[in-house]
Structure 1
Amino acid sequence: MGEYFAAEQPLLKPLPTEPFETGHWSNPRVDLYVQVSVRTNRYSVPVRLIGR
């Protein structure tokens, strides 16, 4: 398995030096349209979750 990495390693780009966001914590609420907003996107969810 290591021989595969050794063959690919010269083709890989270096990791970025500055930190970057890998995740986002939020507490979205289901609105009366049965959707949640996460950042700029809206997602439909089951009706039973309205208000949660």
Structure 2
Amino acid sequence: DVETLSHFQQMFGKKMKKNTVVVLVGSEDKTSARPNEVTNENLESILYQSGRK
């Protein structure tokens, strides 16, 4: 999630983008506390911060 990515950015700095790959895992659970729009915004933020890898 976004907080985890921020923590790694603080720990590893600019090297994090070079050494991070985002892995997307589907979930069987269709119930979500967040609407899809918020989830999509968070995903876009994570992908942007990790160099879109």
Same structural fold, with TM-score higher than 0.5 when normalized by the shorter chain: no
Larger RCO: 1 or 2 (CA < 8 Å, sep 6+): 2
Flag the structure with higher helix content. 2
Query: Please, what TM-score do these two structures have when normalized by structure 2?
Result: 0.22
CA radius of gyration, larger in? 1
Flag the structure with higher strand content. 1
Query: Please, what TM-score do these two structures have when normalized by structure 1?
Result: 0.22
